[in-house]
Structure 1
Amino acid sequence: MGDAPAPRRLRWLGYAVAILGILVAAYFISDIALSRVEQPSYCPRCHEVRAQYLAWKVSSHSQINCLTCHGGDNSSLRRWARRRVEARNYIIHLLGKAKYPYQKNLVPEDQVCGECHSPNREVTPSGDLIIPHRKHTTVTGTPCAACHVDVVHLRAAKRLEVAIEKAGGQQEKAFQILAQELQHLGPKDRLPLMGACMGCHNGKKAPDKCAICHKKLDIPADHKAKDWVYNHGTKARQDIHYCVYCHAVLLDVARPGETITLLQGVRGNPFCVNCHSQRPVTHGPDFKLKHKFRAQEDLEGCLVCHDAEKRDKMSLRGVVRCSDCHHTPVTHPPNYRRIHPNIVMREGAGQCFKCHDTTSCSYCHTSGRVGLP
């Protein structure tokens, strides 16, 4: 067989050149297009990150490109890995499948912050705070973002949720409200919340004593009462803001400007959870029998720790829910205490132990109140 005719070879060569040209053009077109997408001015075109853009624009980092903090190194491999994500997110946006408000938090790594900030810098906070910055960065290895995660974006997604409620669900009006609010924020609004400190200073990972972080302590008079540890719940139910003014909630529990509920103030607060996740001294061995009386008097107090039903968020691990026992309400007749021995002997105690345990039996049968049958 001889060589293919020259016209055929030329035709295939033309196809190859055309395909190569298309690929080269696609490369440069996509590179130009994605480079455009990576500019901060392009961000507000997608409402998913418009709130974060508005916050960045009024921050001390407003002259720093987004990718300086969120892009990683600009090597070819890393750049195209990043752009695959950008292209995917852009398609999700075009299809209307993006979540809103945008909640994803692309936290910069320490080496990114280190390009501009020294970990050895001395910091003198205002007020009575003691924050040994160098110890946190070089000794304990605390990530920069653990304390400064919202120094630029100012909890924008949370603020937008509040603005949407104020705007009656109108997104464009909500963005206007958010932009005005961000313009009036002061330096204090950009400081880490106390909850960020308490994420580590929980008494286990780091000391939780007030004097560790504060030079001066103005302890309220009611805190000095001997029974304060047992009776502070009454004050908390009256005004939980009185408590969280010092014992601040975590960053992701309450939205800026939102009224704190009792449940948020306790369960979102490591200062409270450290105690509230343990069995209270009032819950003695016979508490399962007596708890109905406590619930009748103060059900709200019970629900600070316990949930009536299964809850997706804000639940304390290992704490019994009401529905664990009361999923099938049982109504006993008035004379049940007198006749229940016969029922147990006839049907067994399996049904009883769905709610009761042996302490329920021993409360009466081993205390001299009632003899064994």
Structure 2
Amino acid sequence: MAFWGRKNKETEPESRENRKKTGPIRRLWQKFRAIDWKNPVNRWKLLFVSLIGCIVLFGGGYGVIAFTNSPSFCSSCHEMQPEYSSYTASAHNQISCVQCHIKPGAVNMITHKMKSVKELYYHATGVPKQIVQTEEEAVSNQNCLQCHSKNRLVTASGDLKVNHKGHIEQGIPCITCHAGVVHAKMASRGINTEDVRGEWTKESAEKLMEEKYLRPNMGTCIDCHDKVNNGEKPWKDPAYSVPPNPEEVEKKLEETKTAANGEEKAEAKTEAASEVNTTETLASANDEKTQSIILQAIGKEKKDVKLSMECTTCHKQTEVPKSHKNLDWNNNHGTTAIKKLDTCMECHQDSKWVREIPKEDIISLLKMGNKKVKYTPNVTLAKEQARTNKFCSACHSDRPTSHGNSDQWLTAHANKAKTANQKAECFVCHDFEKPKADSTEAKAATDVYCQYCHRTGFKDDAKN
């Protein structure tokens, strides 16, 4: 007795020649057609086999999806080591990778799995030098709202006043502000490149996951608010919320270099010089813009804008230190800056006022760690900060009120520069000698230097 029952007696037996010519699939099909489907036993057998087939098919498919959804699967590829290590050291290490990186829904899951086949191709043929989240695969608000409520008016720390619901309803992606919550903005910092992937372990990740990169960057808020005040909606461009792809940037640089060869060399050289001038102009304009925002923040510059840039607009608990409220604080804070420069930088460092994130060296970061180095009073360091820090230069670029009229100040400023401390304050804005063109020292706020007038020298050493 065959599994499917007896053959129909009327069916002609196959000859040896026909059996040789017929393939295995066709023979199987012929046997299937020969089954007596009027027999209820055969129909039950078909139902049983179909049920087992579905269990194997769907169960196996679910097993494959479940396995590829696990963080351990992501860590199986060496190029994902930085991402996996930072994930294990983050506050999100209790949820799976796909809960953030795949939109909710079975259709989105299947679609993502089909698109991810290309990742296997890259893994086998050539891993990218740096893993960067693309615009198409950026974490969506749908993912975040699976766990987080949009009805929040203050941050978890209670300091920032942020209307999350209002931002989301405007279509602003969560990652515009919270890009570093899991991976500490490693792509923007340039510390997940091919040559340093081996440096990433669970222990090293704890050193590299600095708090300032996990939390929203104030410069991001400032940049976006400033653009809104100018009538823009920067978040409409998906590229605004994700870091630039380094390979595309490198490709553009190579194209620029190629254009500089051959007959176009002279022309390219002129263009390069023009680009340098343009870059300097843009940098100067950017500094001026940043300083304008800083002056708005501290209430020294008032503008009719949609979003106020003053600190108290967003910060709930921030208070101006009592020492800052002294009437003569603007002219006499130099000594305090030298003694407590580290405290000053908690609010006034440039990194808090700009959106751009500088590139970092992972080896240096691992050696130093994220421990704070104890500051010792340093006049030179304070002077450099006063010259380069945009917050300081916003005021230091203006002539101090203490200098009065030029003709009076020229004959009366000697009494203000007698002691070493007084001279140190002068050298914040002025150089002693004429600065050299190729000097690496921070540029002074003014081009007036001591020897410009005192060409015959001084009675004592003016530097001391």
TM-score, normalised to structure 2, is: 0.42
Q: Does 2:64 correspond to 1:64? A: no
Relative distance call for 1:128 and 1:295 in structure 2 (3 A) is farther
Match of 2:112 in 1: 82
What does 1:186-335 correspond to in 2, within 5 Å? 190-202=214-226, 204=229, 206-215=307-316, 216-218=318-320, 225=330, 243-244=348-349, 247-250=352-355, 252-255=357-360, 296=437
What is the aligned partner in structure 2 of residue 103 from structure 1? 132
Letter of the 1:111 counterpart: Q
Aligned residues: 260
AA matched with 1:154: A
Aligned amino acid, residue 314 of structure 2: C
The 2-side partners of 1:98 and 1:177 are apart by 25
* Contact 1:210–1:217 under 8 Å retained in 2: no
Partner-residue secondary structure (3-state), 2:138: coil
The equivalent of 2:204 in structure 1 is 178
Q: Gapped runs of 5+ residues in structure 1? A: 18-23, 227-234, 260-264, 282-292, 305-373
Q: Per the alignment, in what secondary structure is the counterpart of residue 50 of structure 1? A: helix
Q: Per-residue CA shift, 1:313-367, capped at 9, x if unaligned?
A: xxxxxxxxxxxxxxxxxxxxxxxxxxxxxxxxxxxxxxxxxxxxxxxxxxxxxxx
Corresponding residue number in structure 2 for 1:332: none
Take 2:58 and 2:165, find their aligned partners in 1: how far apart are those partners?
Answer: 46
Amino acid across the alignment from 1:193: N
After superposition, the Cα gap between the structure-2 partners of 1:107 and 1:163, relative to the gap in structure 1 and judged at 3 Å, is: closer
SS at match of 1:13: helix
Sort the Cα spacing of 1:299 and 1:75 in 2 relative to 1 into closer, same or farther, 3 A.
Answer: same
Whole-angstrom CA distance in 1 between matches of 2:93 and 2:193: 22
Deviation per residue, 1:155-214 (Å, 9 max, x gap)? 2445672899xxxx66434436533426x866x763212122123122625432323223
Match of 1:358 in 2: none
Amino acid at match of 1:51: P
How far does the alpha carbon of each residue in 1:267-297 deviate from its partner, in whole angstroms, 9 at most, with x for none?
Answer: xx9x88xx9xxxx99xxxxxxxxxxx99949
CA contact (8 A) 2:217 2:352 kept: no
Do 2:151 and 2:165's aligned partners in 1 also have CA atoms closer than 8 Å?
A: yes
CA contact 1:43–1:49 (8 Å) conserved in 2: yes
Q: CA deviation at 1:39?
A: 1.8
Q: Amino acid of the residue matched to residue 72 of structure 1?
A: K
Q: Take 2:192 and 2:73, find their aligned partners in 1: how far apart are those partners?
A: 25
| Structural RMSD (CA) | 5.5
CA–CA distance in structure 1, aligned partners of residues 204 and 187 of structure 2:
10
Q: CA–CA distance in 2 between the matches of 1:135 and 1:174?
A: 38
Contact 2:67 2:73 in 1 (8 A): yes
Is the 1:160–1:175 contact (alpha carbons within 8 Å) kept by the matching residues of 2?
no
Asked if 1:121 is matched to 2:152, the reply is: yes
In structure 2, relative to structure 1, the CA distance for the partners of 1:16 and 1:39 (3 Å cut) is farther
Distance in structure 1 (CA, Å) of the matches to 2:223 and 2:21 = 71
SS of the counterpart of 1:111? Answer: helix
Distance 1:60 1:145, change over 3 A: same
Alpha-carbon distance between aligned partners in 2 of 1:224 and 1:97, rounded to the nearest angstrom? 56
Structure-1 residue corresponding to 2:81? 50
Q: Separation in 2 of the partners of 1:141 and 1:10?
A: 63
How far residue 92 of structure 1 moved from its aligned partner, in angstroms, is: 1.0
Residues 1:48 and 1:41: Cα distance change in structure 2 (over 3 Å): same
**1:58-106 C-alpha deviation (Å, 9 max, x unpaired):** 3332222211221224435x44432233221122112233223x22254
Contact 2:104 2:142 in 1 (8 A): no
SS of the counterpart of 1:152? Answer: coil
Return closer, same or farther for 1:6/1:52 CA change in 2, 3 Å cut-off.
same
Deviation for aligned residue 1:32: 5.4
For residues 209-251 of structure 1, what are the alpha-carbon distances to aligned partners after superposition, in whole Å with 9 as ceiling and x for unaligned?
A: 323223444278599759xxxxxxxx9xx99968426743325
Does structure 1 retain, via aligned residues, the 8 Å contact 2:178–2:216? Answer: yes
SS at match of 1:172: helix
Q: Secondary structure, in 3 states, of the residue corresponding to 1:116?
A: coil
Distance 1:16 1:199 in 2: 69
Q: Work out the CA distance in 2 between the residues paired with 1:134 and 1:62.
A: 26
C-alpha deviation, 1:41, in angstroms: 0.7
Q: Which has the larger radius of gyration?
A: 2
Are positions 1:112 and 2:143 aligned together? yes
- Identity over aligned residues, as a percent? 24
Aligned to 1:150: 180
| Cα distance, 1:69–1:9 mapped onto 2, change above 3 Å | farther
Tell me if the contact between 1:40 and 1:65 (Cα under 8 Å) persists in the aligned partners: yes
- Residue of structure 2 equivalent to 1:338: none
